[in-house]
Each structure stands twice: as C-alpha cells, then as structure tokens.
Amino acid sequence: MKKNSTRQKIINSAYKLFYEKGFNGTSIDDILRDSGLNKGSLYHLFKSKKEVLLAVIHEKIAYNLEQKYKDVATVEHPLTYLEEKLLTTESFDFKHGCALNNLVQEMSPVDADVAKALLEAYDNLEHYYFLALKSMDMDEEKKQTLSKMMVATVEGAIMAAKASQDKTPYLRIIQQMFTLLPKPHR
C-alpha cells in the first residue's frame, strides 16, 4: 500500500473515531482496527496519537471547512451563500455535533500545540464568516466582532441540536440569526 494511501486511511479513521468518541475515548488500537492497518504502518507515519490528531485537524477538519466555505469571497451575495450553506443539513451529524468544537472543548485546555492548531482552524472559520459580511455597511472591527458572534451562535445552535438530538433548534436559531443581521448593500 502506498504511503499516502496508508496515511489517508489513518487520518480518515482517526477523524471518524475522534468525532464519535472524542480524542481521549479513542485508542491507537481503535484507529488500527477501524483502518485495518497494523501498528508499524501507523508509527512509520506518526510518532504519537497527538501527531495523528494534528493531522486530523489540519488535513481533515480545516480542509472540510475550506471546501464548504471557499467560495464565500467570490459569490455575488456572500451572506445568502453562507445562509444556504448553514441551512443545508443533509450531511450534518447532529448526534455528534461539530468536530472542531468537540475537539476545542476536549483538547484546548490540555495541549498547547493542539490548542494552537484548533485556534487556527477556528480563526479560519471566523474569516469565512467575515468575508460573508463584506457587503455590510459597517467598519471592519464591527464585521470582525459580528463574524465571531455568528460563529458562536452557529456553534451554540449545533450544541442545542446535539443536546436534543434534533435539528429543529439548530434550524430555528440559524434562521433567526440571519433575520437579525443588518441587510447588506446590493
């Protein structure tokens, strides 16, 4: 098996398991069992479970966010684009919540390297929201603050859906958030 293919198998399995069980609830053996690989394959590519986690953050979580929001800066109506992205829930797993937020809550207070990687991913998410506000008639500092508030609102909405195991609270909160936002200039 190619090195890249093996690496991707490990990252995909670890992502799935960290998302479902958390970092601390997942063992190296769990990752190996899920990926169908042996310890030698994993340790040839990663020195530790922490290294696997950092790869998951950079290569899976950050990448997924980029793929979801990358067009926000180039579309004609970025706020509408963002709203549509957030209200499209077919592929969203409300049972487990947000992979990024779950790891932030579990790991940020525990490890500085992981906290830094998670903060970078979170900052990128806030930046996509900031780009969606580009047509708003307000200064940059207010847009920055509003983008942070929007991310916090979305994460809270995801938490409400996770707690209730129902997407209805999420959808209501997101819809309300967009009705409360100032209307962009067109």
At residue 185, the pLDDT reads: 61
Report residue 130 CA to chain centroid gap: 16
Is residue 134 included in any domain, yes or no?
yes
At residue 186, the pLDDT reads: 56
At residue 3, the pLDDT reads: 61
Query: Which residues form the domain of 70?
Result: 49-180
Based on the structure, what is the number of domains in the chain?
1
Prediction pTM value: 0.90
Cβ atoms within 10 Å of 180's Cβ, excluding its own = 8
CATH number for position 109: 1.10.357.10
Phi-psi region of 88 (alpha: psi -120 to 50; beta: other; left: phi over 0): beta
Reading the chain (186 residues) residue by residue, the pLDDT tens digits are: 556 899 999 999 999 999 999 999 999 999 999 999 999 999 999 999 999 999 999 999 999 999 999 999 999 999 999 999 999 988 788 889 999 999 999 998 999 999 999 999 999 999 999 999 988 889 999 999 999 999 999 999 999 999 999 999 999 999 999 999 987 765
Is residue 13 included in any domain, yes or no?
no
Is residue 111 included in any domain, yes or no?
yes
Is residue 14 included in any domain, yes or no?
no
Is residue 9 included in any domain, yes or no?
no
Is residue 33 included in any domain, yes or no?
no
